């Protein structure tokens, strides 16, 4: 074998090592400027939430009535609310609540929706009929109205708002997984696995589920933005976080009467909701473009 062929062979091996589905996906994602912007926005708010105690010297529950409704200044960057609380501090701590509710509610929806979607798509017949009708019932109601009804039954609280948002979004992931399973169960590798006696649970967990993760990840990223907005909506109606928790929607609700006299009390929480949702949407669109083979060559 000549030296040239050895060099060519080694170069091919190095290229194979450096390439791979995850490496290629990360490379494509980083080339998408809007997706990178979304990632930067999300990471920025995550860092704010994690470093909240180190960024501001104030307590988000501390009330100084003599300093109520002060405009933004060097001492209070975002001003103060009607109780003299520092809005910058409450906004940063609010990121913890909104991200926590958004992420956990989406994780809950994904777990339950994926499980139901796997069962419905794989077994079909009466199992599919019962689960699909359950999805149809949940989808028959507007999401926010169903969430309001659930929280009204369970009682106003941040935890119950999280449960309500998770329940409302179960059909989104369930139907997505069901459609994916219906296409995968006809593939030859699934038929071969059944032919050699592989158990259904192993087929679902080792073969079908891993091949269904891509759309779940994409939809989950987009779903966090929706969950944050829904949590803010419930908080605005007084059905989410309760005082003195600094939830963005609740902050908007408490300050709406000062929108003309002290607009900074609503501007900054509103901007945080907007930017956080925008960041997750941009990142989700970037992930969709990265994982969808039909969009890679555009």
pLDDT, tens digit, 9 for 90 and up, residues 242-274: 888 888 999 998 888 888 888 999 999 999 999
**Percentage of the chain surpassing pLDDT 90?**
39
Determine the pLDDT at residue 14: 43
- Tell me the per-residue pLDDT of 60-104, one tens digit each, with 9 for 90 and over: 888 888 888 889 988 889 999 888 899 999 999 999 999 999 999
Residue 9, pLDDT > 60, answer no
Residue 16, domain member (yes or no): no
Determine the pLDDT at residue 19: 55
Residue 7, pLDDT > 60, answer no
Determine the pLDDT at residue 87: 92
Confidence of residue 17 (pLDDT cuts 50, 70, 90): very low
Q: How many domains does the chain have?
A: 1
- Tell me the per-residue pLDDT of 118-149, one tens digit each, with 9 for 90 and over: 999 888 789 889 999 999 999 998 888 999 99
Residue 9, domain member (yes or no): no
Residue 89, domain member (yes or no): yes
Over its C-alpha atoms, the chain yields an Rg (Å, rounded) of: 24
Residue 70, domain member (yes or no): no
For residue 270, give both structure tokens.
């509103």
Confidence of residue 37 (pLDDT cuts 50, 70, 90): very high
Non-local (6+) Cβ contacts of 92 within 8 A are 48, 49, 52, 55, 56
Section 42-70 average pLDDT? 89
Determine the pLDDT at residue 207: 81
Section 16-26 average pLDDT? 61
Determine the pLDDT at residue 195: 81
CA angle 206, 208, 211 (to 5 degrees): 100
Residue 21, domain member (yes or no): no
What is the sign, positive or negative, of the torsion defined by CA atoms of 97, 77, 236, 138? negative
Determine the pLDDT at residue 18: 54
Residue 297, domain member (yes or no): no
For residue 158, give both structure tokens.
């941040």
**CA-based nearest residue to 93, from 126, 50, 130, 31:** 50
- Tell me the per-residue pLDDT of 164-187, one tens digit each, with 9 for 90 and over: 999 999 999 999 999 888 888 777
Residue 106, pLDDT > 90, answer yes
Residue 69, domain member (yes or no): no
**Using CB atoms within 10 A of its CB, is residue 186 exposed (0-12), middle (13-18) or buried (19+)?**
exposed
Determine the pLDDT at residue 91: 92
Residue 169 is part of a domain; what is its CATH number?
1.10.3720.10
Q: Is 63 left (phi over 0), alpha (psi -120 to 50) or beta?
A: beta
Confidence of residue 10 (pLDDT cuts 50, 70, 90): very low
Residue 20, pLDDT > 90, answer no
Residue 259, domain member (yes or no): yes
**CA-based nearest residue to 146, from 228, 229, 219, 230:** 230
Q: 135-140: long-range contacts at Cβ-Cβ below 8 A with a sequence spacing of 24 or more?
A: 135/170, 135/171, 135/174, 135/175, 136/171, 138/167, 138/168, 138/170, 138/171, 139/171
Calpha distance 168→107 (Å, rounded): 13
Calpha distance 120→114 (Å, rounded): 10
Confidence of residue 295 (pLDDT cuts 50, 70, 90): low
Domain containing 231 equals 29-56+78-291
Determine the pLDDT at residue 6: 44
Calpha distance 184→121 (Å, rounded): 9
What pTM did the predictor assign?
Answer: 0.84
For residue 35, give both structure tokens.
């997706």
Residue 80 pairs in a beta bridge with: 86
């Amino acid at each position: 074998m000549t030296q040239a062929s050895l060099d060519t062979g080694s170069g091919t091996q190095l290229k194979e090592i450096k390439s791979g589905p995850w490496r290629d996906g990360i490379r494509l994602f980083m080339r998408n400027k809007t997706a990178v912007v979304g990632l930067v926005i999300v990471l920025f708010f995550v860092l704010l939430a994690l470093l909240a105690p180190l960024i501001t010297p104030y307590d988000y529950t501390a009330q100084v009535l003599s300093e109520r409704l002060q405009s933004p200044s060097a001492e209070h960057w975002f001003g103060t609310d009607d109780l003299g609380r520092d809005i910058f501090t409450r906004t940063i701590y609010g990121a913890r609540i909104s991200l926590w509710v958004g992420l956990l509610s989406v994780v809950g929806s994904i777990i339950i929706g994926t499980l139901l979607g796997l069962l419905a798509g794989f077994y079909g017949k009466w199992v599919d009929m019962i689960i699909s009708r359950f999805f149809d019932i949940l989808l028959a109601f507007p999401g926010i109205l169903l969430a309001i009804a659930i929280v009204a039954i369970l009682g106003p609280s941040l935890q119950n708002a999280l449960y309500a948002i998770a329940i409302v979004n179960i059909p989104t992931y369930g139907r997505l997984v069901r459609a994916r399973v219906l296409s995968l169960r006809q593939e030859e590798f699934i038929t071969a696995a059944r032919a050699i006696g592989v158990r259904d649970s192993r087929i679902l967990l080792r073969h079908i589920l891993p091949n269904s993760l891509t759309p779940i990840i994409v939809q989950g990223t987009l779903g966090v933005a929706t969950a944050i907005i829904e949590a803010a909506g419930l908080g605005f109606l007084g059905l989410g976080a309760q005082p003195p928790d600094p939830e963005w929607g609740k902050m908007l609700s408490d300050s709406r009467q000062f929108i003309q006299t002290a607009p900074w009390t609503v501007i900054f929480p509103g901007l945080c909701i907007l930017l956080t949702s925008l960041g997750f949407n941009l990142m989700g669109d970037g992930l969709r473009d990265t994982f969808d083979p039909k969009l890679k060559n555009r």
